[in-house]
A and B are shown apart, each in its own frame.
Chain A
Amino acid sequence: GAGVSQSPSNKVTEKGKDVELRCDPISGHTALYWYRQSLGQGLEFLIYFQGNSAPDKSGLPSDRFSAERTGGSVSTLTIQRTQQEDSAVYLCASSLPDGMAATQYFGPGTRLLVL
């Protein structure tokens, strides 16, 4: 079936504006993850969803970042009052009901540029 999809693929915004990034996981994947890939920090974990709840939000860098998931499917990552340091590629991954062997499948990412 279809893989993980993310939209938009690219987003350019002005400092101070809010942005929403969307992730559509693979059908049936109850676990969903957001990561961020930036030049200075590499790939870092942001948040994990199991169903609609987020047991681990420890990677969110500040209270300007939030995420939700509805219907156990689509997830939205929102960044409020964007800053230039938020510029990065935001990656979403999903996996089957979780366990150590579960493979995370990644989407193509949303490239965010804050001017």
Chain B
Amino acid sequence: AQSVTQLDSHVSVSEGTPVLLRCNYSSSYSPSLFWYVQHPNKGLQLLLKYTSAATLVKGINGFEAEFKKSETSFHLTKPSAHMSDAAEYFCVVRTNAGGTSYGKLTFGQGTILTVHP
């Protein structure tokens, strides 16, 4: 079984300050991990993904995430928030379970990021 916990339902930052969105996962097998972003009334857009290569993953719009197996974490960070970053962010896990290669995604509950001027 696999699961994802996003530790904060809401995060509020000021423009120009760092962003940290926390995610912990549980997986019986080697996972692939993703962060997706959803702007209001828009579809889900992939920010970045980890698939067992480098543990520090860089994504679009200056976001990055670090896979830490010992902590079962995949936190999303950005050095300096921009107003356009305000959106809902989803941490997602996908597991290759015992030879099954297809990728059903399991989503966290989402973190709403608010950016203040």
Q: Are B102 and A50 in contact (CB under 8 A)?
A: yes
Q: Per-residue CB proximity of A99-110 to B under 8 Å, as 1/0?
A: 111111111110
Q: Which residues of A contact B36 (CB under 8 A)?
A: 106
Q: Are A33 and B105 in contact (CB under 8 A)?
A: yes
Cβ contact of B103, chosen from A3, A95, A106, cutoff 8 A: A95
Q: Which residues of A contact B108 (CB under 8 A)?
A: 42
Q: Are B104 and A45 in contact (CB under 8 A)?
A: yes
Task: Compute how far the CA of A101 lies from the CA of B30 in the bound complex, rounded to whole angstroms.
Answer: 12
B7 adjacent to chain A (CB < 8 Å): no
Q: Assuming A42-B109, A45-B105, A98-B101, is B32 touching A109 (CB within 8 A)?
A: no
Chain A contact-residue range equals: 20 to 34
A56 adjacent to chain B (CB < 8 Å): yes
> Which secondary structure dominates where chain A touches chain B?
strand
Q: Are A43 and B90 in contact (CB under 8 A)?
A: yes
Among B16-24, B43-51, B60-68, B78-86, the one that faces the other chain is B43-51
A55 adjacent to chain B (CB < 8 Å): yes
**Of all chain A residues, which has the CB nearest B94?**
A100
**Of all chain B residues, which has the CB nearest A43?**
B107
B106 adjacent to chain A (CB < 8 Å): yes
**Of all chain B residues, which has the CB nearest A92?**
B43
Q: Assuming A91-B43, A100-B51, A100-B96, is B104 touching A33 (CB within 8 A)?
A: yes
Chain B residues engaging chain A, CB cutoff 8 angstroms? 32, 34, 36, 42-46, 49, 51-52, 90, 94, 96, 101-110
Q: A93-B105, A98-B103, A108-B42 are in contact. List 19 more A-B contacts (CB 8 A).
A: A31-B102, A42-B107, A42-B109, A42-B110, A43-B90, A45-B104, A45-B105, A45-B106, A55-B102, A56-B102, A91-B43, A95-B103, A100-B94, A101-B32, A101-B51, A103-B34, A104-B103, A106-B45, A108-B43
